[in-house]
Amino acid sequence: MINFGKYSEKVIFQGFSNTSDGAGGILSSSVNVLTTFARVNQTRGNNAIESQELVLPNTYEIAIQFRNSFTPSEDHRILYRSKYYKILSVRLDDQRQHKEYIIQMIGIQ
């Protein structure tokens, strides 16, 4: 049985859409793809990540319920608590009773 109470934080997955600006150029804008609840845990950044940042980055591991209609990828970004995060990796955790996506993300603002 799925324990929905453990998914207590609201996250928004965003994709990007290109539109014409009318003068021959292209504008890129973000589009909300999915709003859902997730389990969020802050993690330490590894040495490779920390060496690229001047300050300690905000790194998190989040888990969301599997759904057939959405597959998260590195092409999405996540809006969580009014901050944007880049997806570093996505894996599908297939337990006996249910499936969930485990996502590593890092702050980009």
The mean per-residue pLDDT over the stretch 75-84 comes to 94
**What pLDDT was estimated at residue 60?**
93
State how far the alpha carbon of 38 is from the alpha carbons of 13, 30, 46, 49, in Å.
11, 21, 23, 23
**What pLDDT was estimated at residue 109?**
62
The band of 44, judged by pLDDT with boundaries at 50, 70 and 90, is low
Is 48 a residue whose pLDDT tops 90?
A: no
Whether the Cβ atoms of residue 66 and residue 100 lie closer than 8 Å to each other? yes
Structural domains for the chain: 4-107 (2.40.10.270)
The band of 23, judged by pLDDT with boundaries at 50, 70 and 90, is confident
CA distance 106 to 104: 7
Is 66 a residue whose pLDDT tops 80?
A: yes
Higher pLDDT, 80 or 3: 80
The mean per-residue pLDDT over the stretch 21-33 comes to 88
Is 12 a residue whose pLDDT tops 90?
A: yes
- Give the least confident one: 2-6, 59-63, 73-77: 2-6
3-state secondary structure the chain: CCCHHHCCEEEEEEEEEEEECCCCCEEEEEEEEEEEEEEEEEECCCHHHHHHCCCCCCEEEEEEECECCECCCCCCEEEECCEEEEEEEEEEEECCCCEEEEEEEEECC
